[in-house]
Homo-oligomer: A and B are copies of this chain.
Amino acid sequence: MESVTVKSPASVSNLCCGFDILGMALNEPYDTMQLIKKDEPGIVIQHTDAYLLPVAADKNIAGVALQAMLNELKYKNGFKLIINKQIKPGSGIGSSAASAAGVVVAANELLGRPFSKNQLVAFAMEGEMIASGARHADNLAPCIYGGLVLIRDTLSLDIVQLTTPPLFITIVHPQIEIKTSYAREILPKEIPLKSAVIQWANVAGLVTGFLKNDYELISRSLKDVIIEPVRSKLIPGFEAVKSNSRQAGVLGGGISGSGPSLFMLSENQKTATLVEVGMKAVYDKLGIAYKTYVTSINQNGVTVMKS
């Protein structure tokens, strides 16, 4: 096999109370990436999208992730990587994770699958590092495992796949810029123990709701008393989107990753579409450009399209 093409999905991390520990892969949007074996060493990157991301392998998220894998293998030859990003960088729906996860899954496929999913997450984290400056797997793990994923421990990569009842996800990406690093900076270093207890009660409720297919419990637990009050101030229209979504009958939702995208979970597609209407109304009124998606959970993660 000389070439492989993969679809690498967007993802929503945090899920309100699950800051830094929960993430889920989406069916829409997704990047496509083609990885081609070369006989000579070196990683050559080409973008067919309009995002002007760096093409130098050591400055490109996918390049760094791929190099981490090749180093481990002591692999001498090179690759050409053609990336078509559909997930806008900085949108808060796992654009960098899609780049890093996509390339490592593609390379693993081309090289005869020498690595486990956990190893692939570890290589991809090397790539994500250059985007966020921190080791996080809450977008990467769902990209590689698919579905909804709990990262119980990042250091040992203790990744637990969770089941859910059918869920529909509405995303709005208001076209404003929030740097992940700034969104981290403004978080409190210390939080009241009382708030932490409320948060972990909700996390426990949310996970239980997912595993027991209990929509009511999911809805009651989709709360964030720690991160959302701080970060939501960076996102114009946040309260209006929440309020419109509630009126549409949403289960709940909040900031996707570190924003600015917002996500809302619904029990059925009809509600998810009504939520989208409410989101559009908010940003039309504010005069802020936006993009919306109505999608569902991607149970497979990065998928090989052809090889």
Contact = CB atoms under 8 A, between A and B. Distances in A.
Nearest to A163: B212
A131 to B, nearest CB: 20
Interface in A240-299: none
A151 interface: yes
B202 A152 contact: yes
B187 A21 contact: no
A148 to B, nearest CB: 11
A219 to B, nearest CB: 11
SS class of chain A's interface: helix, strand, loop or mixed? mixed
A242 B197 CA distance: 25
Interface of A: 17-22, 150-153, 158, 160, 162, 187-193, 196-197, 199-205, 207-208, 211-212, 217, 220-221, 226
A44 B170 CA distance: 60
Contacts of A150: 201, 204-205, 208
Identical chains bound together, number:
2
6 contacts: A21-B204, A150-B205, A152-B201, A190-B193, A191-B193, A196-B226
A160 B211 contact: no
Nearest to A160: B208
Contacts of A221: 152
A138 to B, nearest CB: 10
Contacts of A205: 150, 152, 158, 160
Contacts of A17: 200
Contacts of A208: 150, 160, 162, 207, 211
B21 A200 contact: yes
Shortest Cβ-Cβ A-B pairs, 4 listed: A152-B205, A200-B200, A196-B196, A190-B190
A160 to B, nearest CB: 6
A204 B201 contact: no
A255 to B, nearest CB: 16
A207 B208 CA distance: 7
Contacts of A199: 196, 200
A196 B191 contact: yes
Contacts of A158: 205, 220
A205 B207 CA distance: 9
Nearest to A205: B152
Given A160-B208, A188-B193, A212-B211, A200 B152 contact: no
